[in-house]
Amino acid sequence: MRIGVMADVYQTHLSGVTNHIRLNKEYFEGQGHQVYVFAFGPKNPTRQDESLCIAPGLPLTHTYYWGAGYPQEFVRLLQSMDIVHVHHPFVSGRLAVKYCHDRGVPLVFTNHTRYDLYLRYYLPWMPPRLGERYLKSYLPGFCRTMDCVISPSQSIKQVLQTWGVDANIRVIPNGVNTGLYKTNTGMLNRLAYGFRKEDVVLVYVGRVSKEKNLRTLFEAFRIAAAQNERIKLLVVGDGPERAYLAQYVLTHGLCDRVTFTGQVEYERVVDLLALADVFVTASISEVMPLTLIEALAAGMPVLGVASPGISDIVQDGFNGFTTREDAQCLAEKIVVLAQDTALRMRLSFQARQSAQCYTVERTAAQLLSLYTEVIAARQAGR
């Protein structure tokens, strides 16, 4: 099978979406399929891998690019695919419809983002009703041009339906390489990051930005840290909120309790997760975050805010806890987890068990099955 993958960015940007694409690409190729990624990047990119079709784009940030179209070489290649999988609806999605829809190339789209919440964070001047009105005017029509829409979780499927999406929606969760996390203990590396063996290390992995609600998380950490001197926080990632959070740490005298790693190579995340005891997040803008699944695979309880995407993964009291979006509530659960070693051990064991639902072998196989079904339906004229 020749599989085309369309995304706004790929090599220049590290995110859950780009990581999802990479993991599935590796699995599909291991099964003998050909996978081509179409995205945008800097002008005159060096094409060292023939399967990566990076068109020159207009830089919007140092990692994100916008493009109006692909070179004819890429268009012809895209139109020769057996199926095309779209991962962003506004730029790549529009081009997928332009290049593939009338050519009869089957199209599927995965909704990876809570676009309603991202509009609030990145376009705060826009009235919420106006942003919601735009989503409800664009996404339903776009999704009807797809042969199938994929939602990574049941709750996000319901969110799509509230936006008016009435297309065929299938739920296929994101997957990770859980095998990477089975044997790494990480205890020997703790001292290098200023953690003692007896410390209870909380870890956040992801973009350090407003939509991740890190200000609430840091307030919860401050409250909890005042009650238990063993509680420490490791922040893995970087982004525009880091300067504010670093100042917050300094202001509240937490410099010896919080460690920022900055952006790290994906391969290092395995080791960094192994340093910690509990994964924490206050984000309510998630869809199916790979970092949470990776934390579970590493045998780590997850503490998060009850919301779509989070509540689909975290079973309260089984592999972690969910709370209201409130710093005091989060802090109370942090203290409980820090003080109860037996509880953490039980949740850790069950976390590893629950991660087996999200192996990339399992989820990618579901995608391949869907591709086959969609191609057959298109060939049958349905």
pLDDT in tens, 167-180: 999 999 999 999 88
Tokens of 15: 């995110």
d(C-alpha 38, C-alpha 52), whole Å: 6
Question: What is the distance of C-alpha 36 from the center of its chain?
Answer: 21
The residue type found at 115 is Y
d(C-alpha 298, C-alpha 184), whole Å: 8
**Across 320-340, average pLDDT:** 97
Which pLDDT value is given to residue 359? 96
Q: Are 375 and 108 in contact (CB under 8 A)?
A: no
d(C-alpha 96, C-alpha 91), whole Å: 9
- Tell me the pLDDT tens digit for each residue of 210-262: 999 999 999 999 999 999 999 999 999 999 999 999 999 999 999 999 999 99
**Could you give phi then psi for residue 68, rounded to 5 degrees?**
-90, -15
Q: Say if residue 205's pLDDT is above 60.
A: yes
User: How many residues are recorded in the chain?
Assistant: 382
Which pLDDT value is given to residue 80? 97
Helix (H, G, I), strand (E, B) or coil at 278: strand
**Across 147-175, average pLDDT:** 96
- Report the DSSP beta bridge partners of residue 262: 236, 237
- Tell me the pLDDT tens digit for each residue of 63-109: 667 888 999 999 999 999 999 999 999 999 999 999 999 899 999 99
Q: Are 36 and 53 in contact (CB under 8 A)?
A: yes
For the ranges 43-47, 169-173, 310-314, the lowest mean pLDDT is seen at: 43-47
What is the pTM assigned to this prediction?
0.91
Helix (H, G, I), strand (E, B) or coil at 304: strand
Cβ atoms within 10 Å of 92's Cβ, excluding its own: 22
Question: What is the distance of C-alpha 294 from the center of its chain?
Answer: 11
**Could you give phi then psi for residue 300, rounded to 5 degrees?**
-120, 125
Q: Say if residue 187's pLDDT is above 70.
A: no
Which pLDDT value is given to residue 115? 87
d(C-alpha 363, C-alpha 152), whole Å: 10
Which pLDDT value is given to residue 44? 65
Q: At what angle do helices 360-379 and 16-30 cross, to 10 degrees?
A: 80
Which pLDDT value is given to residue 49? 86
**Across 361-382, average pLDDT:** 93
Which pLDDT value is given to residue 64? 67
State the chain's mean pLDDT as an integer: 92
> 179, 152, 87, 109: which is closest to 313 by C-alpha?
152
Q: Say if residue 370's pLDDT is above 60.
A: yes
Which pLDDT value is given to residue 277? 96
- Tell me the pLDDT tens digit for each residue of 7-21: 998 876 678 899 999
Q: Say if residue 267's pLDDT is above 60.
A: yes
For the ranges 11-20, 23-32, 133-142, 354-363, the lowest mean pLDDT is seen at: 11-20
d(C-alpha 28, C-alpha 116), whole Å: 32
Which pLDDT value is given to residue 16? 85
Which pLDDT value is given to residue 63? 63
Which pLDDT value is given to residue 194? 86
d(C-alpha 152, C-alpha 244), whole Å: 32
Q: What is the DSSP letter of 316?
A: B
pLDDT range class, residue 132, cuts 50, 70, 90: confident
